[in-house]
Structure 1
Amino acid sequence: MIDIPSFVLALGVGNIAFAVLMAGYTHGAAPSPGLRLWMWARFGIGLCQLLGWSRPYLDMPALNGVEGASWILAISLEVAAYCIFFGFERWQRVLVPVSALALAVVLAAGSAGAPVPYLTALVAGVVALFAAAMASILLRPRRRASLLQRIIGVNDAVFAVSVVVWAVGCLDSEGPPGQCTAQEYAYMAGYLLMIVNGFGFLLLCKEKDDAEMARLATTDSLTGLPNRHAFLERAEHARQAALRQRQPLALAMMDIDHFKQINDRFGHATGDEALVVFARTLRETLRAHETVGRLGGEEFAMVLPGTDLSGAVQAAERLRQAVREAMVITSVTPYTMTVSIGVVVLDPNETLGMGLARADHALYAAKSGGRDRVEVGRPQQQRA
């Protein structure tokens, strides 16, 4: 038999300790609204548990309603923290009215002098509902969840089920609340929730920060396209896959025509806007399995897996026409860009660097031939 009061005291102290450690961990770091809100939720849950531990000793009936309302507020903050962390935009429309309704019901029941078992069951039911909401956020099938998310989500689900069983047990007049096995299981699940979610949320934040650092290391900050290093890495993987599957692989080098004149005439801010518009046009024109990256300045490259020379030229022409139709807003008049493109199909015995060099020569030929055109690179054996 578990010593329930001592267990509740340990849970309360543990949750408050987690909140204090979290405050120390985040002090001086970049502000994270989700993490800050989660910290206050842990602190609030700890206070609720300390209230529950002290209630028998203080003999103040008013504490029943206060404790229940505090549980609603604390668990609502924790759900809000997960919503913010995972980027839900309209979570307030659901969570705020549901929390307000639950809070009003609990306060009304406490003011009306509802028996402790029934008030406890009511609060436990609301806590179980919010725990189930957190589990659904972490385990939702629409997005790919990491193993860490699944572990935390399953823990939330187990806690929700345990609390529901406890709530039903509290309504059973035959067994004294506080001594039933269901309550012991609920507190054990609460202990696991404190440990798993305490460390788990920190690890989720670190996982998110690591993913953001990886994204920044591989993404061009202006256009959002893969940077030179990331593009070359993906292109090399595409080359090796093409060799294994014995499929053609097309490469293209692209350059915005007269880009220096855009900067000189309209300013560098307009030049940056032209690069952004060009990158957006690339993303909208190319197919999902094709990769495009910014190599530097106004120079871009793309890889077209499974595409022969004829298909690559058609894709380049579609892109060239789409760029002509894109408008760059300037301080004077809208500006229409053009692009020159060099296209090659990689030879099986050719390295990626050699193929890009041939595409670059074709790009130079397109610029020399008048710009705003697609030029096909000469086969490797004809270059000596």
Structure 2
Amino acid sequence: MPHLDATSMRLELGVVLVTTLVLFYGVTYRSTRSRYVGLWCLALLAIAAGTIAYLGDGTAVQWWANPLGSALYALGAWLIWRAARTLDGRPRWPRWVVLVVPAMVLLSALADSPATNSWAGAWALFPAVSVLIALASWVMWTTRRTHAGTLRRATSATGYVVSVYYLGRFVTFMAFGPDSVWFIDLFGTSMTTIVMTFLLVGATFSMTALSYEQQTADLRRRAASDGLTGLLNRRTFLERAELLRRDAERRDVPCVLAMADLDHFKQVNDTYGHEAGDRVLIGFAEACRATVRSMDLVGRFGGEEFVLMLAGATPEDASRVCEEIGHRLRIVQESAGMPSATISFGLVEVPQDVPFAQLLVEADQALYRAKAEGRDRVVVGRRGRE
């Protein structure tokens, strides 16, 4: 089988990667400023630099150029994993951790006679790249984000192909050696360059599409949320509450609407300042998120007034949930040194045949009674007691 010139192929891959990097940075990163897009740019830069370093293979600088190229390839694979981890906000590691695998590959190559051995350290590089890309693909496949699922899986599948290919390189290299026909024809420099060119460019454009999908979803999320607390805003709450109500009717389960209001909130603002008041509002939102289920709705109607919709709950169940929210709010306030503020709730059961606007009025009336009876309590409206 005729073989393409390795130097020309590496030069071609380097040019393609640099061109892709420039386009990806100029078009995607500058418009989104996404962290994972930035890390992907750094990964492309590292792989392109590694490819250029490999141009020293067979020359007087081979002893340091090849180990450097291997280390940069390992760095690129690590950065791809880091980029994937940012998609669902996984914890960051100290920056120095990114150098661990590249340093190990570099030392392995330097200790493997790099001046005379063109494949010095390949036994460490191939499995490192395979494992890191497999981890990145697994993260992409299992990330908690629900949008852009097809694009995520396409990018993940591309990564798995790269991982399996490098695993094949490692197995063939160890079993038959770098001079075997099997290795040269299937996993040598020329074939690897062709495979990596198509896969990296394809993955990059998939990442571009994914970036815009994610940006659009983030904009929708922000449009649906209260800017301070992150809870649903009034419009979005009302839209989703109607959907939740219909779902509860279809499943024939009870549903409770609750209005909540922070007691003496104006005094908190006047005494401690608006920043302290904002911290109390955020603390209440945290208490709600820690208490309610994912199927329930919590929204901010404005100021210190909030509304909750609890599906599959009776008024007694909802009362216990509200009391738990008040308890958690006190814990949050004490642990964060916030001003002390209590919360009053008005509950009403949600029937099938009453306009939602009327239910809001009745829940608000129950809340007014909770205030009149001394605050820091839960009052069930007339419908909840029938």
Q: Aligned pair 1:347/2:346, yes or no?
A: no
Number of the residue aligned with 2:61: 62
Shift of the alpha carbon at 1:296?
A: 0.9
Q: Which residue is equivalent to 1:356?
A: 360
In the superposition, relative to structure 1, how do residues 19 and 318 fare at CA in structure 2: closer, same or farther (>3 Å)?
A: closer
| Residue in 1 that maps onto 2:371 | 367
Following superposition, the deviation at residue 178 of structure 1 comes to 8.2
What is the identity, as a one-letter code, of the residue corresponding to 1:152?
Answer: T
Say if 1:204 and 1:243 are closer, same or farther in 2 by CA, change over 3 A: same
Q: Which residue of 2 aligns with 1:208?
A: 214
Identify the residue that residue 4 of structure 2 maps to in structure 1.
4
Distance 1:307 1:177, change over 3 A: closer
The 3-state SS of whatever aligns with 1:375 is strand
Aligned to 2:277: 271
AA paired with 2:200? M
- CA gap of 1:309–1:84, structure 2 versus 1, over 3 A, is same
Against the structure 1 CA distance between its residues 8 and 240, is the aligned structure 2 distance closer, same or farther, given a 3 Å change threshold? same
1:92 offset after TM fit, Å?
5.0
What's the secondary structure of 1:4's corresponding residue? coil
Name the CA shift for 1:192/1:255 in 2 (closer, same or farther; >3 Å).
same
Task: State the number of aligned residues.
Answer: 372
Deviation of 1:211 after TM superposition, in Å, equals 3.2
Alpha-carbon distance, 1:174 to partner? 6.2
Q: 1:204 to 1:173 in 2, by over 3 A?
A: closer
Aligned to 1:152: 155
Matching residue's letter, 1:108: A
Q: How does 1:1-384 map to 2 (within 5 A)?
A: 4-5=4-5, 6-25=8-27, 29=31, 31-50=33-52, 52=54, 54=55, 60-63=59-62, 65-84=64-83, 86-87=85-86, 88-90=91-93, 95-111=98-114, 113-116=115-118, 118-119=119-120, 122-123=121-122, 126-140=125-139, 143-144=143-144, 146-169=149-172, 171-172=176-177, 175=180, 179-183=184-188, 185-323=191-329, 327=333, 335-379=339-383
Q: 1:2 to 1:313 in 2, by over 3 A?
A: farther
Distance of 2:307 and 2:178 partners within structure 1: 74
Separation in 1, partners of 2:341, 2:375: 11
Letter in 1 for 2:306: F
Relative to structure 1, the CA distance from residue 265 to residue 124 in structure 2 (aligned partners, 3 Å threshold; closer, same or farther) is same
CA–CA separation in structure 2 for the residues paired with 1:248 and 1:323: 26
Q: Name the amino acid aligned to 2:318.
A: A
Q: Which has the larger displacement, 295-304 or 143-152? A: 143-152
* Greater mean deviation of Cα atoms: 136-145 or 196-205: 136-145
- Distance of aligned partners of 1:328 and 1:263 in 2 relative to their CA distance in 1, 3 Å threshold: farther
Residue 348 of structure 2 aligns to a residue whose secondary structure is strand
8 Å CA contact 2:130, 2:167 repeated in 1: no
CA gap of 1:196–1:135, structure 2 versus 1, over 3 A, is farther
Could you say if the C-alpha distance between residues 4 and 163 of structure 1 is closer, same or farther in structure 2, counting changes exceeding 3 Å? farther
What CA deviation, in whole Å up to 9, does each residue of 1:341-365 have, x standing for no partner? 1111011112322222211122122
1:26 CA displacement = 5.4
One-letter code of the match for 2:340?
T
Work out the CA distance in 2 between the residues paired with 1:107 and 1:153: 33
Larger Rg: 1
Q: Structure 2: which amino acid aligns with 1:363?
A: L
Identity across the alignment (%): 29
Distance across 2 between alignment mates of 1:251 and 1:2: 74
Q: Within 1, Cα distance between the matches of 2:178 and 2:51?
A: 24
The C-alpha deviation readout for 1:108-136, integer Å capped at 9, x for no partner, is: 3344x3433x43xx337514522431222
User: TM-score when scaled to structure 1?
Assistant: 0.83
CA distance in 2, matches of 1:81, 1:198: 11
Q: 1:319 to 1:9 in 2, by over 3 A?
A: closer
- The amino acid that maps onto 2:344 is S
RMSD, matched Cα: 3.3
Give the secondary structure class of the aligned counterpart of 1:337: coil
Compared CA separation, residues 326 and 193, structure 1 to 2 (3 A): closer
Query: How many angstroms does 1:303 deviate by?
Result: 0.8
Letter of the 1:209 partner, please give it: Q
Report the TM-score, using the length of structure 2 for normalisation: 0.82
